[in-house]
Amino acid sequence: MKIGIVCYPTFGGSGVIATELGKFLAERGHQAHFITYDQPVRLNSLDPNTYYHEVSMHDYPLFHYQPYELALSSKLVQVIKKWKLDVLHVHYAIPHAYAAHMAKQILAQNGIHIPVVTTLHGTDITLVGRNPIYRDAVEFSINASDVVTSVSESLKTDTESFFNITKEIQVVPNFIDRRVYEQQRECLRRQFAPEGQRIITHISNFRPVKRIRDIIRVFAEVRKHSNARLLMVGDGPDKEPARMLAYELGVAEDVIFLGKILDIDRILRCTDVFMLPSEKESFGLAALEAMACAVPVVSSNTGGIPEVNIHNETGFVANVGDVEAMSKYVLHILNSPAEEERLRVNAKRRSLLFDIEQIAPQYEKIYEDILAS
């Protein structure tokens, strides 16, 4: 099949999932055509069967905001016509599902039918999409898609409660590629913890929804009882406030902000506990990636996280903002080797249920079914 893929090319989970899925499909002999405004961070467009089509923007003094969906729709029409794509898979509803629908309408006038699969990832529904500014257009473009998928049961429920959805939403969970975690790689533990400190890690875009100040508070509590270090991977608006809090709480020396990192498995391999205390989280891909490295997770119990991190099996979950409980759980893991080992084994085992070999065929089947219908 020839599959068009639209996503955000950045470090966010939706872009990572779209890119890894496309790469995997390309390995299986399909053509994966990425249509985005920048090269997706995890994409190597020299890989066989992989194509990157850049959406260029034209600035004009009249434009206060550049009309990205217009440029994207036009580019989709051109790519679909030129490469005779079979199906278009858009990740993140805003504005991708909307642009896909416009492209589909334009192509229909030329007698070309292109089925559209929309995958909902989270904030496109729970934060941005339900905002009255976008709501009607988001609802329309979800309903106009040929197939709609969501990355968790929780996100499916949220979508159905926030919008008037006339389509069946299929849940296809996010995934990891176990092959990445089976590679032998150098251990970075000594670099980050030269005195044998335990390592706690968090990875995100440091937006308010991630509640990274809770992590600093938890770490300050943990630090009183355990010689530990905190690795903060990523970048975003709450970085400086979190750094300031670390100074205020007297733990700044042991909090390392590493910036954006591409091969995060290198960090996760030397991690003892992964933290994800988000306010909202449709899935929590970073937690699953940690579990793939046999790292127990201490998280909030919001959204789809409990579908990934099972309480007292792969780690622990607590209410959003419950810093005391989270601190207790982190210390419990760090201070009880038998418990730590149990959770590590379970985390690794559970992550394999989400291996790309299991999940990608579900998308392949969706494409095959719409092409057959």
C-beta separation of 249 from 215 below 8 A: no
DSSP code at position 193:
-
Identity at 46, one-letter amino acid code: L
Binding flag, residue 297, ligand GMT (CB under 6 A): no
Which residues, including other chains, have CB under 8 Å from residue 30's CB and lie 6 or more apart?
1, 2, 3, 49, 364
In the complex with ligand GMT, the residue whose CB is nearer, 20 or 139, is 20
Stretch that binds ligand GMT, among 226-234, 249-257, 282-290, 346-354 (CB under 6 A): 282-290
Q: How far is the CB of 226 from ligand GMT (least distance, A)?
A: 28
In the complex with ligand GMT, the residue whose CB is nearer, 31 or 205, is 205
Q: How far is the CB of 127 from ligand GMT (least distance, A)?
A: 7
- Tell me the C-alpha distance between 39 and 53, whole Å: 8
Q: What share of the chain is helix, strand, coil (3-state, %, to 5)?
A: 45, 20, 35
Q: How far is the CB of 97 from ligand GMT (least distance, A)?
A: 13
Q: How far is the CB of 112 from ligand GMT (least distance, A)?
A: 29
Binding flag, residue 363, ligand GMT (CB under 6 A): no
Binding flag, residue 309, ligand GMT (CB under 6 A): no
In the complex with ligand GMT, the residue whose CB is nearer, 121 or 269, is 121
Q: How many residues bind ligand GMT (CB under 6 A)?
A: 21
3-state secondary structure of 131: coil
Q: How far is the CB of 277 from ligand GMT (least distance, A)?
A: 12
Binding flag, residue 121, ligand GMT (CB under 6 A): yes
Binding flag, residue 122, ligand GMT (CB under 6 A): yes
Binding flag, residue 92, ligand GMT (CB under 6 A): yes
Q: How far is the CB of 14 from ligand GMT (least distance, A)?
A: 3
Closest CA to 315 of 187, 198, 200: 200
Give me the residues paired with residue 31 across strands.
2
Phi-psi region of 274 (alpha: psi -120 to 50; beta: other; left: phi over 0): beta
In the complex with ligand GMT, the residue whose CB is nearer, 92 or 363, is 92
Stretch that binds ligand GMT, among 20-28, 118-126, 140-148, 220-228 (CB under 6 A): 118-126
Q: How far is the CB of 282 from ligand GMT (least distance, A)?
A: 4
Identity at 113, one-letter amino acid code: H
Among the listed residues 88, 151, 193, 233, the single contact to ligand GMT using CB under 6 A: 151
Which residues, including other chains, have CB under 8 Å from residue 48's CB and lie 6 or more apart?
26
Q: How far is the CB of 247 from ligand GMT (least distance, A)?
A: 26
Among the listed residues 89, 96, 217, 280, the single contact to ligand GMT using CB under 6 A: 280
Strand 169-171 to 198-204 pairing: unpaired
Which residues, including other chains, have CB under 8 Å from residue 297's CB and lie 6 or more apart?
273, 274, 275, 276, 287, 290, 291, 308, 309, 314, 315, 316, 347
CB atoms closer than 10 angstroms to residue 371: 11
Binding flag, residue 12, ligand GMT (CB under 6 A): yes
Of residues 202-221, those binding ligand GMT (CB under 6 A):
205, 207, 209
In the complex with ligand GMT, the residue whose CB is nearer, 285 or 297, is 285
Maximum C-alpha span of the chain: 68
Binding flag, residue 123, ligand GMT (CB under 6 A): yes
Stretch that binds ligand GMT, among 24-32, 115-123, 195-203, 254-262 (CB under 6 A): 115-123
DSSP 266-317: HHHTT-SEEEE--S--SS-HHHHHHHHTT--EEEE--TTHHHHS-BTTTEEE
Q: Which residues bind ligand GMT (CB under 6 A)?
A: 12-15, 17, 92, 121-123, 126, 151, 174, 205, 207, 209, 280-285
